Amino acid sequence: MNALKNHTEINSNRNLIFGIHLGGTQKDAQCAEATYKSHADLFAKGPHPIFVTPGKSDWFDCPRQDESFEFFLKHFGSDLTNRWQTRQLKKLGIKRSKLNPELFSLYVEGILLIGLHMIDPTPNEENIASRDKRMKMSMKWLAETIEGNLIEREVRGVVILGHARQSEQNNKFFSQTRKYFRSSSTRQQIPVMYLHGSGLEWKIDKKRSPFYDIQVDQGGLSAPCIIDVAPQRNGNVELLRRDDTSTHTILGKGLFRLDQQ
């Protein structure tokens, strides 16, 4: 966290304004409340707000799932965001689902970020009905958030945040999400990134452009990934380019620049 603070201060021109943890905070499978609190205390010391999406180890792998999920919501939900100054929350425009507060969204400079509940237990671990209910919940939040924002303001790009990578079990969510963006002339022009971390190694899938699948490195072993967004000034977008750094990837025709390190 100290290194993150130093990087932010030294590179103030990058205008870094928030961070995302893509889930998987509980490593010992005991899921004691003290562990959730200690992680939240650490996140609260960061240079900017940090948001957390639920991962499989955050509640599903715990011995008391319901209790652990409540711990997650308590320490990584509104309690964590309430620890930031009011002016920061207003700037980011944070919204949470009333029924499922682990789902959140924020709109910053034309970019809509949507946090979902994406975990991927095997068929032997969870029944189909429970999985489908969770995916339906996330799809509903995704569609409602996008439709509401498209009515109110310009959406230049969408970043979907989840823990699980695409698999045979959750393929329904991804196929329907891609179909949703393709089914409208307005939505099909919007670059979309799905950002996740359960694969634990850096991978970028551009095959379904402008829908990009981004799998980040294991957080404990690699530096954070930084995502730059092309600035828009007076109606003109200054598209981003890759410099001589090999860790840079350009997506969305210059709207996004990913810096792996």
What was the pLDDT predicted at 68? Answer: 95
Q: Residue length, the chain? A: 261
What global pTM score does this model have?
Answer: 0.91
Give me the number of domains the chain comprises: 1
Write the DSSP assignment of 88-141 as a string of letters. Answer: HHHHHT-EE-SS-TT-EEEEETTEEEEE-------TTTS-HHHHHHHHHHHHHH
Residues forming beta bridges with residue 192, ordered by sequence position: 158, 211
Overall average pLDDT of the 167-195 stretch = 88
Residues forming beta bridges with residue 52, ordered by sequence position: 21
Split at pLDDT 50, 70, 90, the class of 199 is confident
Statement: residue 248 has pLDDT above 90: no
Split at pLDDT 50, 70, 90, the class of 193 is very high
- Let me know: does 56 contact 197? Beta carbons within 8 Å: no
* Residue 66 CA: distances (Å) to CA of 21, 27, 191: 21, 18, 36
List the domain range (segments joined by +) for residue 21.
2-259
CATH code where residue 171 lies: 3.60.21
State how far the Cα of 39 lies from the Cα of 77, in Å rounded to an integer. Answer: 12
Q: In b/e form, how buried is each residue of 153-163, taking b as 16+ CB within 10 angstroms?
A: eebbbbbbbbb
Instruction: Give tens-digit pLDDT for 76-128.
Output: 987 787 777 555 665 677 899 999 999 999 998 889 999 999 998 888 898 88
What was the pLDDT predicted at 173? Answer: 87
State how far the Cα of 201 lies from the Cα of 222, in Å rounded to an integer. Answer: 9
Statement: residue 169 has pLDDT above 70: yes
What was the pLDDT predicted at 69? Answer: 95
Statement: residue 143 has pLDDT above 60: yes
Overall average pLDDT of the 169-178 stretch = 88
State how far the Cα of 187 lies from the Cα of 195, in Å rounded to an integer. Answer: 19
Statement: residue 190 has pLDDT above 70: yes
Two tokens, residue 188: 């099909």
Instruction: Give tens-digit pLDDT for 209-225.
Output: 889 999 988 767 778 88
Residue 212's SS3 state is: strand
Degrees (nearest 5) of the Cα angle 131, 135, 139? 170
What was the pLDDT predicted at 67? Answer: 95
Residues 6+ apart with CB under 8 A from 114: 103, 104, 105, 141, 142, 145, 146, 158, 159, 160, 161
Two tokens, residue 58: 């955050």
Residue 101's SS3 state is: coil
State how far the Cα of 238 lies from the Cα of 233, in Å rounded to an integer. Answer: 8
Split at pLDDT 50, 70, 90, the class of 247 is confident
10 Å Cβ neighbour count for 89? 14
Q: Around 206, how many Cα atoms within 13 Å sit in the side-chain half-sphere?
A: 5
Average pLDDT, the chain: 87
Overall average pLDDT of the 2-16 stretch = 84
Instruction: Give tens-digit pLDDT for 38-73.
Output: 999 988 888 888 899 999 999 999 999 999 999 999
* Residue 137 CA: distances (Å) to CA of 132, 142, 150: 8, 9, 20
